[in-house]
């Protein structure tokens, strides 16, 4: 060691590494590499930097594990991404607004500006994202659900995908409330991609032996996605819990909460730093009167609202499923979408924008408001109808966002009605756009409008009933809007986390119980008779291997026994296998783990062997002779868990998820009859989906 130190610090550092590795041949290679790299400049500076980085790494990881730091980093990075995207989108939206206001008086120019700006942005979004990564269109949550359930979809976690989605989403969002698309779905996907990247970094820094399972990072990342999009940590964690297959591993709970809290905190602190907010607060903060937020009897009205939202969600989901099928089966449309994505996007957005043009139907549906303004206005405590009828109250008091809902020549009931009717089909149409975009926020706002309509009606009715007693200000339509938003979005996605999200978004805890009640009832109606959720429908159409989705279309599948569906594995090794056949097998198969049986005839399972072991076996062949058998060279991994042919697919799925293995072996009295992997489950599911679509 002392001799090494004499060669200078840079060599010493590398000698230390070698010392640790105790591998002479590798040390020689490194010395060669060192000599080859010696032309590089700043040798001393580089080695000092390297040493100090190593020192910092060692010091830090002796206090907290590297993976904890990666969770915190994930939270902060995602929040930063979210904040920057918000800033960019706001600038692009303001540019559009400024341009439209400058063209005041020139109706045609205004129309062109109103329609072509979002159309060109969406065309850009879809062509750009498609050219970088063909899979980047859509929300991404159906794919994230699959990955959280344990299926490997490496295409959906690449860095190029991250870039495509980031740029595409920014363009989609900048198209504004005309196209009516949201951010949260793609953001959850973005966050998982970032998480997967950080996980790779961590694994390479810490070495394989300390690596944590990637699954854990993905679950954490899903929570962070929601948390840093809305600054809502706990509902983020609940969301990630709800989308992870059948079992949630509790060891992911604390890391998720930590990362989500960091993400939410960073996101809100960035808002404070940029001067948007004075302190860390809810994103759509409401300040309802806390003295008597609602009468106990109003809980019934909230329950009715929940059921109404549940029923409406079924209509919406029906339309959504229909249009998904239609765009796939209609020959002309499917060809256009497949080949002319940019043109299709531009065309659809032009149509949507024409409808919402403020001098046409847009006048009656508050088209001038942005997505955030729509939500803020709907959540206001003011009783719109009362104030609009009451001429003595100056209409300009306070925030006048809601005035957009009360244009001259109509009432707010008519505007809300037109909004609900038009946005339904527009939303369904927007779902066919081949660009990265989220569908949660639009649904949330739609639900808020439903709740608002009901709340206004109730407030009106109660005033008419009790006008003599002067108790007109008792009913708060904003509370109904909040409950409606949570209930409708919960029903569409079949989740309960929107109830908590509504609370965290507004900081309005007074309405916690009625919101939860409405969301529960809406969910009950939406889930009845195995109706697939929004994400289920996409997963089914895209044929993603997501069992919960499949359960909706084919509930009997999960009780099918493995013996009926499992296929005899082709990539099986004998214990006496020689090097030639091992080499052939490695070339013909892409599996990572191979089962080993005592002989192909008896088929008794002895254990398994990994691709890495087999490669080492082939590598060692040259030195140690050609006639060596596998059994002499490799130690087989024992098979820890065996499934029998009588086990059901559901049990196989539960076990696969619980132990987080990539493959399980199916045996019958010790004989290997099949291998269950995620891709095998995908194959089985696809076969069944084919069968069900035939019948």
Among 644, 683, 686, 692, binds a second copy (CB under 8 A): 644
Among 282, 401, 418, 618, binds a second copy (CB under 8 A): 282
Does the footprint of a second copy cover residue 514 (CB under 8 A)?
yes
Per DSSP, the three-state class of 688 is helix
- Pick between residue 8 and residue 555 the one whose CB is nearest to a second copy: 555
Does the footprint of a second copy cover residue 236 (CB under 8 A)?
no
- CA–CA dist 327, 337 (Å, integer): 8
Contact 502, 485 (CB under 8 A): yes
Does the footprint of a second copy cover residue 248 (CB under 8 A)?
yes
Here the tokens at position 388 are: 């609009």
Provide CB contacts within 8 A for 463, sequence distance 6+.
Answer: 383, 386, 472
Among 3, 24, 250, 332, binds a second copy (CB under 8 A): 250
Secondary structure element (H or E) that encloses residue 594, with its range: strand 593-597
- Please name every residue paired with 561 in a beta bridge, in sequence order, or none if there are none: 648
Provide CB contacts within 8 A for 483, sequence distance 6+.
Answer: 302, 305, 306, 451, 502, 511, 514, 515, 518, 519
- Pick between residue 251 and residue 690 the one whose CB is nearest to a second copy: 251
Among 351, 639, 682, 686, binds a second copy (CB under 8 A): 639
Provide CB contacts within 8 A for 434, sequence distance 6+.
Answer: 126, 130, 137, 138, 337, 341, 344, 345
Provide CB contacts within 8 A for 596, sequence distance 6+.
Answer: 572, 573, 574, 575, 605, 606, 607, 608, 609, 630, 636
Does the footprint of a second copy cover residue 525 (CB under 8 A)?
no
Does the footprint of a second copy cover residue 285 (CB under 8 A)?
yes
Least separation in angstroms between residue 277's CB and a second copy is 9
- CA–CA dist 245, 682 (Å, integer): 14
- CA–CA dist 97, 506 (Å, integer): 27
Among 648, 682, 683, 692, binds a second copy (CB under 8 A): 648
For tokens 């000599």, name the residue. Answer: 35
Among 233, 362, 451, 569, binds a second copy (CB under 8 A): 233
Does the footprint of a second copy cover residue 578 (CB under 8 A)?
no
Residues from 591 through 610 that contact a second copy (CB under 8 A):
604
Q: How far is CA 134 from the centre of its chain?
A: 18
* Interface segment toward a second copy; rule CB under 8 A; list 217-225, 348-356, 422-430, 666-674: 666-674
Does the footprint of a second copy cover residue 657 (CB under 8 A)?
yes
Among 461, 641, 687, 691, binds a second copy (CB under 8 A): 641
Among 293, 347, 457, 578, binds a second copy (CB under 8 A): 293
Least separation in angstroms between residue 527's CB and a second copy is 8
Among 261, 353, 486, 565, binds a second copy (CB under 8 A): 261
- Pick between residue 600 and residue 671 the one whose CB is nearest to a second copy: 671
Least separation in angstroms between residue 114's CB and a second copy is 38
Does the footprint of a second copy cover residue 275 (CB under 8 A)?
no
| Sign of the alpha-carbon dihedral angle for 494, 327, 693, 653 | negative
Residues from 77 through 106 that contact a second copy (CB under 8 A):
none
Does the footprint of a second copy cover residue 27 (CB under 8 A)?
no
How many Cβ atoms sit within 10 Å of the Cβ of residue 395? Answer: 12
Query: For residue 121, which of 85, 57, 173, 188 has the smallest C-alpha distance?
Result: 173
Per DSSP, the three-state class of 607 is strand
Helices in 494-565 by DSSP H: which ranges?
497-506, 512-527, 534-541, 547-553, 562-565
- Pick between residue 281 and residue 354 the one whose CB is nearest to a second copy: 281
Least separation in angstroms between residue 87's CB and a second copy is 19
Does the footprint of a second copy cover residue 658 (CB under 8 A)?
yes
Does the footprint of a second copy cover residue 654 (CB under 8 A)?
yes
Contact 145, 538 (CB under 8 A): no
- CA–CA dist 236, 319 (Å, integer): 28
Does the footprint of a second copy cover residue 642 (CB under 8 A)?
yes
Q: State the number of binding residues for a second copy (CB under 8 A).
A: 75
Among 29, 646, 687, 691, binds a second copy (CB under 8 A): 646
Does the footprint of a second copy cover residue 475 (CB under 8 A)?
no
* Interface segment toward a second copy; rule CB under 8 A; list 157-165, 209-217, 624-632, 652-660: 652-660
- Pick between residue 36 and residue 250 the one whose CB is nearest to a second copy: 250
- Pick between residue 7 and residue 311 the one whose CB is nearest to a second copy: 311
Please return the burial class of 497, using the count of CB atoms within 10 Å of its CB with bins 0-12, 13-18 and 19+.
buried
- Pick between residue 349 and residue 503 the one whose CB is nearest to a second copy: 503
Among 667, 678, 680, 685, binds a second copy (CB under 8 A): 667
Does the footprint of a second copy cover residue 311 (CB under 8 A)?
no
Does the footprint of a second copy cover residue 638 (CB under 8 A)?
yes
Among 67, 161, 268, 621, binds a second copy (CB under 8 A): 268
- CA–CA dist 275, 265 (Å, integer): 15
* Interface segment toward a second copy; rule CB under 8 A; list 386-394, 460-468, 639-647, 679-687: 639-647
């Amino acid at each position: 060691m002392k001799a090494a130190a004499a060669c200078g610090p840079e060599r010493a550092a590398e000698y230390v590494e070698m010392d640790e590795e105790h591998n002479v041949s590798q040390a020689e290679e490194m010395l060669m590499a060192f000599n080859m790299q010696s032309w590089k400049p700043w040798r001393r500076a580089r080695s000092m930097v390297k040493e100090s980085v190593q020192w910092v790494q060692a010091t830090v990881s002796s206090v907290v594990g590297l993976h904890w730091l990666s969770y915190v980093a994930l939270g902060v990075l995602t929040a930063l991404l979210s904040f920057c995207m918000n800033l960019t989108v706001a600038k692009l939206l303001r540019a559009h607004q400024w341009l439209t206001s400058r063209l005041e008086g020139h109706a045609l120019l205004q129309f062109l500006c109103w329609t072509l700006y979002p159309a060109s942005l969406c065309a850009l979004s879809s062509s750009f994202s498609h050219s970088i990564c063909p899979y980047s269109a859509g929300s991404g949550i159906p794919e994230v659900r699959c990955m959280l359930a344990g299926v490997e979809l490496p295409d959906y976690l690449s860095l190029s995908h991250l870039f495509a989605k980031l740029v595409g989403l920014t363009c989609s969002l900048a198209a504004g409330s005309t196209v009516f698309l949201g951010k949260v779905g793609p953001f959850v996907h973005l966050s998982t991609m970032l998480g997967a990247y950080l996980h790779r970094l961590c694994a390479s820094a810490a070495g394989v032996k300390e690596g944590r399972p990637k699954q854990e990072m993905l679950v954490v990342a899903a929570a962070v996605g929601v948390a840093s999009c809305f600054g809502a940590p706990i509902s983020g964690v609940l969301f990630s819990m709800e989308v992870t297959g059948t079992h949630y591993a509790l060891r992911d709970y604390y890391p998720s909460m930590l990362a989500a809290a960091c993400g939410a905190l960073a996101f809100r602190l960035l808002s404070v730093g940029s001067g948007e907010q004075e302190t860390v607060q809810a994103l759509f903060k409401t300040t309802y009167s806390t003295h008597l937020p609602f009468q106990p009897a109003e809980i019934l009205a909230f329950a009715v609202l929940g059921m109404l939202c549940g029923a409406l969600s079924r209509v919406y989901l029906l339309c959504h499923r229909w249009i998904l099928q239609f765009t796939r089966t209609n020959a002309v449309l499917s060809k256009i979408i497949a080949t002319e994505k940019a043109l299709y996007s531009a065309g659809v957005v032009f149509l949507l924008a024409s409808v919402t043009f403020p001098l046409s139907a847009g006048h009656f549906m508050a088209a001038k408001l942005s997505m955030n303004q729509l939500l803020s206005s709907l959540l206001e405590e003011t009783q719109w109808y009362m104030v609009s009828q009451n001429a003595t109250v100056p209409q300009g008091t306070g925030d006048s966002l809601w005035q957009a809902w009360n244009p001259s020549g109509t009432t707010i009931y008519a505007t809300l009605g037109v909004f609900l009717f038009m946005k339904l089909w527009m939303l369904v149409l927007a779902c066919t756009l081949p660009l990265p975009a989220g569908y949660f926020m639009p649904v949330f706002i739609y639900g808020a409008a439903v709740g608002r309509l009901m709340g206004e009606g109730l407030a009106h009715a109660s005033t008419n009933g009790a006008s003599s007693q002067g108790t007109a200000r008792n009913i708060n339509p904003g509370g109904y809007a909040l409950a409606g938003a949570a209930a409708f979005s919960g029903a569409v996605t079949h989740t309960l986390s929107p109830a908590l999200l509504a609370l965290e978004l507004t900081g309005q805890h007074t309405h916690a119980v009625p919101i939860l009640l409405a969301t529960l009832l809406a969910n009950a109606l939406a889930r009845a008779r195995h109706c697939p959720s929004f994400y289920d429908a996409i997963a089914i159409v895209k044929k993603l291997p997501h069992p919960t989705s499949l359960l909706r279309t084919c509930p009997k599948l999960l009780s099918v026994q493995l013996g009926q569906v499992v296929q005899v594995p082709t990539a099986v090794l004998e214990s006496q296998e020689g090097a030639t056949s091992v080499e052939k097998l490695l070339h013909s198969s892409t599996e990572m783990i191979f089962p080993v049986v005592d002989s192909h005839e008896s088929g008794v399972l002895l254990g398994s062997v990994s691709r890495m072991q087999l490669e080492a076996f082939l590598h060692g062949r040259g030195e140690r002779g050609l006639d060596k058998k596998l059994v002499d060279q490799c130690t087989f991994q024992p098979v820890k868990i065996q499934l029998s042919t009588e086990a059901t697919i559901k049990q196989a799925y539960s076990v696969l998820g619980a132990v987080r293995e990539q493959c399980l072996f199916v045996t019958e009295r010790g004989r290997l009859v099949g291998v269950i992997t995620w891709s095998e489950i995908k194959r089985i599911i696809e076969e069944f989906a084919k069968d069900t679509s035939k019948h």
